[in-house]
Structure 1
Amino acid sequence: MTDTDADDVLISAADLAVALDGDHPPIVLDIRWVAGKTDRDAHLAGHIPAAFFLDLDADLAAPPGIGGRHPLPAPADLQAVWRRAGIDDRSSVVVYDNRDSSVAARAWWLLRWSGLTDVRVLDGGFAAWVDGGSRPVESGPGPAPVPGSVTVVPGGMPTVDADRARVITLGGGTLLDARARERYRGELEPLDPIAGHIPGAVNLPLTDLLVPDGTFRTPAEIAATFDEVLGPEDAGGSGEVAASCGSGVTACHLILAAARVGRSISLYPGSYSGWLALGRPVSVGAGVPGA
């Protein structure tokens, strides 16, 4: 576990509304991204009041290359992004996406990796905020926030590289793959040049951790899902665990869910696209039993 309690990784729309009306409202970041591209238009059409929009591709990733499609940003670049959003070292931050936290989790992870601890994801995203029509929504770009002074200290969340990911799969640990089952099995691949998965990886689609409205399942249900894949943690689990996906974005969703129930999971930032960029072999099909 990291410093923030497990229950604090998520915040409901109702609780966020209360916090925004308080004396010390959190900084709110809009990370909407759909169909493989940033969704700034959705932000301009309507967003949570005072939310600051960040572009997943430009702000929360380095340029594509040997590190995959969404490599981790350089700490100095990330510090500039957080300061532009008005973040200080002691800021409380809430991040949201459209509805399923699959992209907001990347911002949550990067903020935690940067050394910030008071960071939460809006459970159910913007869809939860507008549900019922009673909460305020703003349109347009909004005023720029007062620049922040946060200092990024990288390393607040654990990572593994390609070599370590391979060691994990060979050494009794588990490399989780958060992608849809069809992509994991190599039946389709809309983004990367070769379909399949990292040899030895185990499929745990992020959708298995959600209910149909895009909010997370109960902690007991999430814990049971991880226990089914990894083994009960109090019985030793299955050794070291890391998460991957296509490019290191939605893998953070598994890490967020795991943090909610007290499990610690490392991120393989390059994930499948980084694995391919290194020319590593791939597997297709169902993989290990249960995948």
Structure 2
Amino acid sequence: MKAIASKALYSFLCFLLTSCAALHAAAGPLASVEWLQKNLGREDVLVIDTSAGRVYAAKHVPGAVNVDIMGVGLFHKASNADVEKRFQAWGIEPGRKVVIYDEGASWTATWLYSELHYYGFPAADISVLDGGLAKWEASGGAVTKEPTPRKPGTFRISTTRDDERTNLSEFLVASGDRANYVLVDALETPYYYGGAKFFDRGGHVPGSVSMAVSDFFNEDKTFKSPAEIRKMAAYQGIGADKQVLSHCGGGGAATVPFFALKFLADHPKAKIYKGSQKEWLEDERGLPFWTYAAPGLSRDGSWVSAWGTGRLMRALGMNKVSLVDVRPAAAFQQNHVPFSVSVPAEIFRAHVNDPAKLAEVLASAGVNPSHEVVIISKGGLNEDSALAFVMLEKLGQAKVSLLKDSVDEWGMRGFTLTKQETIVGAPKSPQDFAVAPTTYPVALRSGVMVKDTRAKGEYPKVYVASGKNAPAKSPDGKTVHVPAASLVNADGSPKAAGDIWSILAKAGVPKYAEVVVFSDDPADAAVNYYVMKLMGFPDVKVLAAS
């Protein structure tokens, strides 16, 4: 009899151990629908629906309690005591597995996950239902309208994980320190480019990259794989050494990149900036807000006058700007910006396939490869200035930008024009405009102009036909048609960033891709190359003629 009792006890213990093992086997950050179907109804599993109350009332997973995230607020100024009371009221308690869901491909579930983790609840006991309610229903999961009464929990806050949060002070420093930080903007892409806005200004915090909430999900609303998320991060320049600061409009959507990078892709350094754009834009200092990802690729007259034509800065050796005028030589002789040198566009065009010869010309003109070159043309972005931009990038110029104004507009704005030639060498008098002699070594930058596109990158190639008409023959692969002229205003200024994004998205240019621009006229491809760089596409190339 004792043997039978002992065997029964042993079997019962094995059952408990097996049951607990099954529960904790899924104790990762994501719980699958299959796992929840097997474990739904257990006393040690708490299912939380983070939908709005009316959505929960219409349908929800049986047994799920409702926590209306938008109704309770985002805890920005709540005390630990208040947060603890809320957690307890929702049924949070030690030893209980918490599974959180939203409608799928949203941010309210990851927000609650990040809050629980920040306030010390064990990561092993929190999961987000992968795919949310949408995936649950698509997989045959039952739903109900019956509300689930809450059973108070006993969780106490004893610690907070402050290394998962940042503040405005660090965020402001990070905006200017791209060597060590990456600011991740979680808002949808049109917001990033200013095509939509929550506040008085549309756009993004300077230096941030766009990784929108929707970027992290598959079509069935499940999260992308850890490998895919790591690939996305690498595309945006997020290495393991970079501190990620995730933000959005008000601190909610920011939790999706944070959750995906930290808990799914195992990125070692990630924080949430809860103040996000709201706090940034409310700051009384009037902090800058960009629409283009790289507005420094375009310079206005005031900037060039201060940094490029100041005699005192040049005399003190503080000048780091070279001014290159690509207008015809006759136009340059008529009048030009002081200290600019003439390298007509026809020279750039003639040496598209002979960069070594072009480097010789630039050296003789006194163009310093370690400077920022500002290209002066008939005005802003055009075929001549864009081709010069691409060729200088190909040669390895430290930085290249375009003067927004034409030379005539420069003069009309009250800036100095001169007919006096710029001397390459020592000035003969204090009134001379002179630039220091220099050498221009050929240090070709890879991935600017390519002839062979057979090599496979991390993302598929997308060929962007850039001429006026769609090409009769295209490279093998996905090809879309975006005429260069469609991205530029009549005055030579690029169209608004939000409008450019709409044009690119409508044409079928994906956010994550190896973009290869091409055209029968390399200048048209060069215009689109410049615009893509202005918009922050990390991987853009010009397909050179064979």
| TM bracket, shorter-chain basis | 0.7 to 0.9
- 2:537 corresponding residue in structure 1: 290
- 1:35 corresponding residue in structure 2: none
- Taking a change above 3 Å as real, the CA distance of residues 101 and 156 of structure 1, as seen in their structure-2 partners, is farther
Mapped to 2, the partners of 1:274 and 1:186 lie a distance apart of: 18
Given candidates 20, 40, 46, the residue that maps to 2:40 is: 20
Deviation of 1:108 after TM superposition, in Å, equals 0.5
Deviation of 1:140 after TM superposition, in Å, equals 3.3
Q: Output one character per residue of 1:122-178: Cα deviation in whole Å (capped at 9) or x when no partner.
A: 111111111143x222213332x2211111235226111011111112222111101
Deviation of 1:7 after TM superposition, in Å, equals 8.1
Given candidates 253, 256, 265, the residue that maps to 2:256 is: 253
Secondary structure at the aligned position of 1:174 is classed as: strand
Mapped to 1, the partners of 2:134 and 2:288 lie a distance apart of: 37
- 2:70 corresponding residue in structure 1: 57
Under a length normalisation based on structure 1, what TM-score does the superposition of the two structures give? 0.84
- 2:170 corresponding residue in structure 1: 164
Given candidates 50, 55, 58, the residue that maps to 1:31 is: 50
- 1:8 corresponding residue in structure 2: 28
In the TM superposition, 1:107-256 aligns within 5 A as: 107-117=112-122, 118-133=125-140, 135-143=141-149, 145-156=150-161, 158-171=164-177, 172=179, 173-189=181-197, 191-233=198-240, 236=241, 239-256=242-259
Mapped to 2, the partners of 1:152 and 1:97 lie a distance apart of: 25
Mapped to 2, the partners of 1:91 and 1:223 lie a distance apart of: 31
- Taking a change above 3 Å as real, the CA distance of residues 216 and 163 of structure 1, as seen in their structure-2 partners, is same
RCO (CA 8 Å, sep 6+): is it higher in 1 or 2?
Answer: 1
Mapped to 2, the partners of 1:226 and 1:47 lie a distance apart of: 34
Query: Is the aligned partner of 1:42 residue 2:47?
Result: no
Secondary structure at the aligned position of 2:236 is classed as: helix
Q: Output one character per residue of 1:251-270: Cα deviation in whole Å (capped at 9) or x when no partner.
A: 10001111201113100001
Q: Aligned AA for 1:161?
A: N
Secondary structure at the aligned position of 1:8 is classed as: coil
Q: Percent identity?
A: 26
Mapped to 2, the partners of 1:25 and 1:6 lie a distance apart of: 13
Q: Which has the higher helix share?
A: 2
RMSD over aligned CA atoms reads 2.2
Are 1:13 and 1:129, in contact at CA under 8 Å, matched by a contact in 2?
Answer: yes
**Structure 2, unaligned runs of 5 or more:** 1-23, 295-535, 539-546
Query: Is the aligned partner of 1:74 residue 2:72?
Result: no
Larger Rg: 2
Are 2:251 and 2:276, in contact at CA under 8 Å, matched by a contact in 1?
Answer: yes
Mapped to 2, the partners of 1:108 and 1:73 lie a distance apart of: 17
